[in-house]
Amino acid sequence: MRKVNVRLGLSMAVALVLTACQQPLAHDTEHRQQAIKTSQIPELHYNVPPQVVYRIDDHRVVTLENYNHCLGYAWYNDTRTGVRTRIGLLWPTAFRGRLIIDDPTGMNVAIPRVSRNVCGDRGCIDYVAYSTDGGRTFNWTRYDRYDTSFDPVSDSDKYVISVTKDSMYITMFTYKYVPLSSTGQPQARTYDLKNDPSITDLYPLAPGYIYGRDAKLPEGIRIHENVALPSGLRTPSGADRFTCDESIHDPDASEQ
């Protein structure tokens, strides 16, 4: 993986300063999530079967439930431990990046989410839900800390989120030249972890470690910036992306 050059490092620093202005928007997002939890916003219910949208191994899966056209609520399920936890609202196929969960202990999990709201003139902020206690509880932190997007679905393809037994790595590809096709249309971007320039941040994971707006970390524990991503990481099932059958929907539901 190529190291980020000095110019890129300066641009990343400027981006961090600018994104500090986005905190009110982040707070608004958290407020809406809390409003749903406290029933201030009514939750719709759909007559559809659960879908497995990400499989970690033979006993750990993420399911989408109470959804319509792949927009619904994500649940973490571990049939071995009996853990079943609702993570929150999720549009799985909107996250076009890669997700790798390679933690043999089964304690650490991460589930990224892409905003489905109109971004407005300040852009959107996107989060990843992560657990350090085997999926019993989840916290949220921002994964696009270097970049505020106005098209979060399209831009999500430049992220790779990897989880190991002691860390979460968030990789952002910083540049990709995409030539036009013979018809003059942009081609789909594909990223190579070994050859395309990127920056990777390491988030140490352990029970009780909380990042984000309400961070709670032991002294000396911090995010490590621009580290090397370990090679050979792999989800036991081989999955590295969300999947969802968009055709499954509640025929009696009105479009939202």
Percent of the chain clearing pLDDT 90 (strictly above): 58
Distance, CA of 172 to CA of 176 (rounded, Å) = 11
pLDDT tens column, 69-122:
899 999 999 999 999 999 999 999 999 999 999 999 999 999 999 987 667 788
What is the overall mean pLDDT for the chain? Answer: 82
Please measure the distance between the N-terminal and C-terminal CA atoms of the chain and give it in whole angstroms. 42
Q: Assess contact for 26 and 142: CB atoms under 8 A.
A: yes
Amino acid 182: pLDDT: 61
Distance, CA of 41 to CA of 53 (rounded, Å) = 26
Look up the pTM and report it.
Answer: 0.78
225 phi, psi to nearest 5 deg:
-95, 145
Hey, where are the domains in the chain? Answer: 6-204
